[in-house]
Structure 1
Amino acid sequence: MSVEQARRVRIGYALGSVATGSFGTVPGLLLLPYLTDTLGIAAGAAGAIVLLPKALDVLLNPVAGRISDHHQSPLGPRRPFLLRGGLGLAICFALLFAAPDLGSKTLNATWVLLGFLACATSYAFFQVPYVAMPAEITDDYAERTRLMSWRVAFLTLAILISGGASPAIRDAIGGRDGYRVMGLTVAVLLALGTIGAYVGTRRAPIGRPQETTGTLRDQLRLVARVADFRWLLITLMLQALAIGSMLAGIDYLARYVLRDPGAATIGFVCVVGPALLVSPLWLAFGQRFGKRAGFLAASGVLGLGALALSSAQHVPTWCVYVATGIVGIGFTGAQVFPLAMLPDVAAVDSARSGVRRAGVFTGVWTAGETLGLALGPGLYALVLALGGYVSSTDRSAVQPDSAVTAIVVGLSLVPAVLIALSFFSLTRYRLTADEVLEAR
């Protein structure tokens, strides 16, 4: 590709992160509070509702990857799925928060469960092909990092807009109508990201066609034997679980610890805002010291930020915002590096085996990430339940001290432990730049 064409492909591909960032953020931020504090669903049951649809993706995502591996189209094996899955996701997301008052907690919970299930299914057929594309767009080790840096920049912007605006829209309108308008707004972002990625990658290389062999079970078994992929996946899942728990706690932290509902938007901006500045710095760090070293450093910063949040009950509000900013700096790097490392693993495997398995790798990868992000709110809901959190339909319940402590522990100490555990698996990732270059 020419320099200009490569730049256009980076931007076009990155636009898809408007969809992945918005859907990856807003449900984790607001779906659990919607269930517990608007629909009055008990914390334990609400956690199960958030978890179950995403848990299904553990089975669905590898299937979506396998299907896109086999797909033959003049548009490439992946792009047709972007449009179908992404637009389906936008429609389902609008419906998720658009339920009328059905007069029953059970019926209201069922609507959310089915709506979120439809969202998760549509998202699988968008996300898996989308994440598989970089391994086929370029075989250049450094270009994959640049491609992922653009993606993370757009991802960060999407998270900032959707995550910052969603609580503000909800609070400005109030009640269930606030959630309905928020759902429609985010649905528009999902549609824009989908169309942007579909149109923006129309001139992207799609790689040399190769036939996959064996059944899906055979492919999964082979993928599981790739040690570097296995350790990278375990790291991703542990950190996704930590991030999911932290994300779920922001709204509760704002209302019951900082005593300011508007602090949810400010805190979220503090998490995501620094990423717009530090993403190029993480890129430079990775180019100098390597992707694994960059991932380790980013994970350390992320863990320190989570640990700092454990003091939220005892320090001024500005100190909490500083801690969330540290989380944001680490979070940025923890997004850039694994996204750049996955295509390397898939490309090396393809060169060694002669078989295209990028979709299967990506399907397993996104299933692990999705499960981690889904378990995060579920884990947080469990911590709330153990702390005696009181659910309410009018967001006015008085919480016992144990529940307030649980709110802080669930978004600080629990994630910090999970991130610490992720160092064990990440240090066992061995793939080097030289091996990737030899596979080209």
Structure 2
Amino acid sequence: MSDTAAPLPKRILNGYGLGSIATGTFGTVPGLLLLPYLTDVLGVAAGVAAFIVFVPKAWDVVMNPLAGRISDRSTNPGGRRRPFLLKGGLALAVFFALMFAGPTAPKGLAAGWVVALFVLCATAYAFFQVPYIAMPAEMTQDYQERTRLMTPRVIIIAVAILISGATAPLVVNAFGEKTASGYRAMGLYVALLLAVGVVGAWWATKGAPERQSVSAEGGIKQQLSAVAHHPDFRALLISFVIQSLGVGLLLAGVAYVAEDLLHKKAASSLLFAAFVGPALLVTPLWAKYAHRRGKLSGFRVATVVMTVGMLLLFVGLPNLHALVYLAAAVVGIGYAGGQILSLAMFADAAGFDPSGRDENRVGVFSGVWTAGETLGLALGPAVFGLVLALGGYLSSTAGKTVEQPDSALWAIRLGFTLLPAALVLISLIPLRAYRLDEKLAHRSVSDSPH
């Protein structure tokens, strides 16, 4: 096989990216609105709410690698990965709507309903996201083409985050701010967004190239061991999980910052617009930078940019509103670079077998990767909830507003700015062990059996 492959058609590039409507939406809305739903509508204490939002997501750590291994072994005539997109994605949409359609009292029953449906959401999402993330490593083996494949995906995920993150709170407010009816309407609205992304990706990737290789032998334990001993993947994964934790903290704090620090109903939507809007413009620029200077260099620069933006958020809150929105845009610029380059680097690592054997365990790699991302994003709201609890945040039930103590306001500010900034900066440390560059990736393609 040659070092390069034929460029993928634009239909495949853009069609694959449509799946990011689902990943961006589900990756954003629970972290943004589930914690406030629990604390401010159901009246669940902040510490308990933090536990609730974390436990179902932690299930993904177990479920995602299994979903990956199942898709690795698939012999479906519709493709190794594509059939999972439709089934898992549509199930996710249904479970998400039901999560906000449960009882509001008694409190224990209401909280139990959320936990049960969130676990079902996490399970369905595993069977959509894991095969979806695995597809690029099999669609092309070209080092630069993988970055090109990620460009529309990251642009679409930015749009999805913007649409879902900015409009979901508006739907809640339109149908009843801090009421169950508002959140139920939001659940149906978000379910529709999820379904659009799922069906779009499944339909548009019909006929996409799929590298044919033998599924790796052995059980899930043996496959996980092989993944764990991949040095480049291990370094990238650790970095990405730490960074996802920082991003998860920031997302979890948006609703609290908007209400308790900025005191504007529309502030959460404005913050998301400022965060995501610039990504639509800079994502192609990050791809060009990576082509000239390398993906690893770009990922490092993007991480530093994100950290600077978070520090500026701390300076701007709570009074310098213009600086707050500008800082959110800086964070968004760095986040866009981190997304496109980490995903392209993941595809390189998952498609590179250090042993030199042409065995397919891309699904297991994808399962571990998505489990790590999910764990980081789930820990974000959980850690933020604990920060609120330590700061003495006062929970309330639907329709009631309470004045928060100064300690709670400081907890919101620190949990939204300095704590995620520290985590994102720390994520640079594991990257020192990442060595997979274009030359090595091309060598692995050339050496693989025809």
After TM superposition, the score normalised by the length of structure 1 is 0.98
Mapped partners of 2:335, 2:396: distance in 1: 32
* 2:49 matched residue in structure 1: 46
* 2:92 matched residue in structure 1: 89
* 1:411 matched residue in structure 2: 416
CA shift, 1:355, in A, is: 0.9
Does residue 307 (structure 1) correspond to residue 311 (structure 2)? The answer is: yes
Question: Percent of counterpart pairs with the same letter?
Answer: 52
Pairs within 5 Å for 1:41-120:
41-101=44-104, 103-120=105-122
Does residue 179 (structure 1) correspond to residue 186 (structure 2)? The answer is: no
Does residue 428 (structure 1) correspond to residue 405 (structure 2)? The answer is: no
Mapped partners of 1:141, 1:399: distance in 2: 52
CA shift, 1:262, in A, is: 1.3
* 1:12 matched residue in structure 2: 15
Partner of residue 26 from structure 1, selected from 23, 26, 29: 29
CA shift, 1:314, in A, is: 4.8
Q: 1:419 to 1:259 in 2, by over 3 A?
A: same
Partner of residue 194 from structure 1, selected from 191, 198, 211: 198
Mapped partners of 1:395, 1:197: distance in 2: 42
Q: Is the 8 A contact 1:312 1:408 kept in 2?
A: no
* 1:229 matched residue in structure 2: 233
Mapped partners of 2:9, 2:431: distance in 1: 31
* 1:439 matched residue in structure 2: 444
Partner of residue 123 from structure 1, selected from 122, 125, 128: 125
Mapped partners of 2:351, 2:325: distance in 1: 40
Partner of residue 217 from structure 2, selected from 213, 218, 223: 213
Deviates more, 1:5-14 or 1:57-66: 5-14
* 2:167 aligned partner, one-letter code: A
CA deviations over 1:252-275 (Å, ceiling 9, x no partner): 000000111210111111101110
Q: Is the 8 A contact 2:262 2:319 kept in 1?
A: no
Q: Is the 8 A contact 1:212 1:356 kept in 2?
A: yes
The DSSP-based 3-state class of the residue aligned with 2:324 is: helix
Mapped partners of 2:26, 2:436: distance in 1: 31
Partner of residue 355 from structure 1, selected from 356, 359, 384: 359
CA shift, 1:395, in A, is: 4.7
Mapped partners of 2:100, 2:335: distance in 1: 28
Q: 1:314 to 1:211 in 2, by over 3 A?
A: closer
* 2:265 matched residue in structure 1: 261
Q: Is the 8 A contact 1:257 1:312 kept in 2?
A: no
* 2:108 aligned partner, one-letter code: T
Mapped partners of 1:317, 1:284: distance in 2: 33
The DSSP-based 3-state class of the residue aligned with 1:233 is: helix
Does residue 159 (structure 1) correspond to residue 175 (structure 2)? The answer is: no
* 2:146 matched residue in structure 1: 144
Query: CA RMSD of the aligned region, Å?
Result: 1.2
* 2:303 aligned partner, one-letter code: S
* 1:229 aligned partner, one-letter code: F
Pairs within 5 Å for 1:370-409:
370-393=374-397, 394-409=399-414
Q: Is the 8 A contact 1:302 1:327 kept in 2?
A: yes
Deviates more, 1:308-317 or 1:288-297: 308-317
Q: Is the 8 A contact 1:351 1:439 kept in 2?
A: no
CA shift, 1:312, in A, is: 3.7
* 2:448 matched residue in structure 1: none
The DSSP-based 3-state class of the residue aligned with 1:139 is: coil
Mapped partners of 2:197, 2:131: distance in 1: 14
Mapped partners of 1:208, 1:8: distance in 2: 21
Q: Which runs of 5+ in 2 are unaligned?
A: 446-450
Q: 1:137 to 1:224 in 2, by over 3 A?
A: same
Mapped partners of 2:355, 2:143: distance in 1: 14
Mapped partners of 2:275, 2:349: distance in 1: 30
CA deviations over 1:98-124 (Å, ceiling 9, x no partner): 1243x2111110111111111001000
Mapped partners of 2:321, 2:243: distance in 1: 26
Q: Is the 8 A contact 1:350 1:356 kept in 2?
A: no
Q: Which runs of 5+ in 1 are unaligned?
A: none
Deviates more, 1:170-179 or 1:129-138: 170-179
After TM superposition, the score normalised by the length of structure 2 is 0.95
